[in-house]
Amino acid sequence: MSTLAVSAFGPADAGPALLAIHGITANGRSWQTVAAHLPERRLLAPDLRGRGRSNLLPGPYGLRQHATDLAAVLDADGGGARAVLGHSMGAFVAVALAAARPDLVARLVLVDGGFPLALPADAASAEDLDIGALLGPAAQRLSMVFADDDAYLDFWRQHPAFLRDWSPAVEAYARYDLDGEPPHRRPSTVASAMLQDGAELYGPDWYIAALRSLRMPVTVLRAPRGLTDTEPLYGAGALEAFRVLVPQLAIVEVDDVNHYTILFAERGASRVAAAASSASSPEIPTKEST
């Protein structure tokens, strides 16, 4: 295997596809609910290197390697600029892609990600971080073994993010994520890929330069709650500071979602789809910060 596995949604003859990039321990099936809100659009959702059906692709990983991989996907799809969506770490990859290959990106839709995360108070730099600890349950499950698919589904049903938002889309995503054979079913993400990618989410110099270079419309959608349905990835008002780097930034506040349900729940996915289908990001018919 030398290319990324890709989940394709929508009509095959619908013209240039949207590109949708998943999060740090996720896979392309995480975009199913968003795609359902865009029935007339074609959407390509690759499994990034080290995840899903692309987990046999070797390292090195890193945001720029993922951007190179995705540029190859779009070149194979005929090239040309189109909307690029990214969730969580995938939003950072989207920025890296737009900076490296602006000819492929007409606009960016960043879903609860894409802007450097704040370092914890006890860390002087990203080198001091325990990425696995910061990701909590998302990282812990990579070391877990499950007897069968139902045991893995039970893990997700009990996850704080999905206690009131379990759906067929979440189930399909979780089933696709599994690797190995019973009774040794495991999540498909390679732990070293998670760790290498996670270390780049705190704003290295090259990434700040990438943000500053963006000239296309950029929309970011913020979830008010985080990975475990508690503290958000970005506090209220925190994204405003990044207008210094990206003056054309449109900020959309999405009510009553967490870091996962902004993508999986209908109330979040519909807002993401609206941003993706808008001809001009600032005209999205949602509650924005201006």
Mean pLDDT of 172-189: 97
Q: Give residue-wise pLDDT tens across range 89-120.
A: 999 999 999 999 999 999 999 999 999 998 88
Q: What DSSP letter does each residue of 68-124 carry, written as one string?
A: HHHHHHHHHTT---EEEEEETHHHHHHHHHHHH-GGGEEEEEEES-SSPPPPPTT-S
Alpha carbons 238 and 212: distance in angstroms, whole number: 17
Alpha carbons 15 and 41: distance in angstroms, whole number: 8
Mean pLDDT of 30-58: 97
Assign a CATH topology to domain 6-117+189-289.
Rossmann fold (3.40.50)
Check residue 283 and give its pLDDT.
Answer: 38
Of 21-30, 49-58, 135-144, 225-234, the least confident: 135-144
Mean pLDDT of 230-244: 97
Entry pTM: 0.94
Alpha carbons 257 and 267: distance in angstroms, whole number: 8
Q: Which residues contact 184 (CB under 8 A, 6 or more apart)?
A: 145
What are the residues facing 221 on neighbouring strands? 111, 252
Q: Give residue-wise pLDDT tens across range 56-85.
A: 999 999 999 999 999 999 999 999 999 999
Most confident of 115-124, 126-135, 257-266: 257-266
Check residue 281 and give its pLDDT.
Answer: 39
